[in-house]
Amino acid sequence: MRVIGIISDTHGLLRPEAVAALEGSDVILHAGDVGDPAILDRLAEIAPVHAVHGNTDFGRLREELPETEVVEVADGVLACVLHILEDLDLDPAAADIAMVVYGHTHRPRVERRSGVLYLNPGSAGPRRFTLPVSVARVRVSPAPDASGRAVLDPEIVELDV
């Protein structure tokens, strides 16, 4: 069983509760609006990190982080990471992508479309209005389902802040 930690919209604030929730991850995906490169350094102490830039990331973050990244998160399991879902310029199902990870809205969301998991972990940074502060974890089962695809078990983790 592999565990994928997912975080987004930290906006320069990496809460200790988010770090604790991501402990034990085998890989961490950050879906943009990082706000401070030190956040990625701290997350890398837990597990390898793949991150994209968001619409509020400028300077070094904008220069060093891609807008979109496809990552192999488990044996043969691909995830597409981007900040704004509407910027997705490919058909994930046709590209054999199992999961699309995005942020931007600060609203946690889990849905499946055409066999693809779409996941927004919500915002782990400063609270926006009455939205929860959250991250996500996805457990990847080593045994495929009846269709031969990996089994992805997502969980939104609301942080007590």
Q: Which tens digits make up the pLDDT trace of 40-72? A: 999 999 999 999 999 999 999 999 999 999 999
Question: What predicted TM-score, i.e. pTM, was given to this entire model?
Answer: 0.96
- The burial class, CB within 10 Å (0-12 / 13-18 / 19+), for 28 is buried
Domain count within the chain: 1
Residue 22: strand, helix, or coil: helix
pLDDT at 152: 96
N-term to C-term CA, the chain:
29
Per the structure, the complete domain to which residue 137 belongs is given by: 2-158
List b or e across 137-156, with b for residues whose CB sees 16 or more CB atoms inside 10 angstroms. bbebeeeeeeeeebebebeb
In this structure, the strands spanning 99-101 and 77-82 are: parallel
Token representation of residue 51? 């991150």
Residue numbers in the chain where pLDDT is lower than 50: none
pLDDT at 47: 98
CATH number of the domain within which 11 lies: 3.60.21.10
Token representation of residue 58? 């400028």
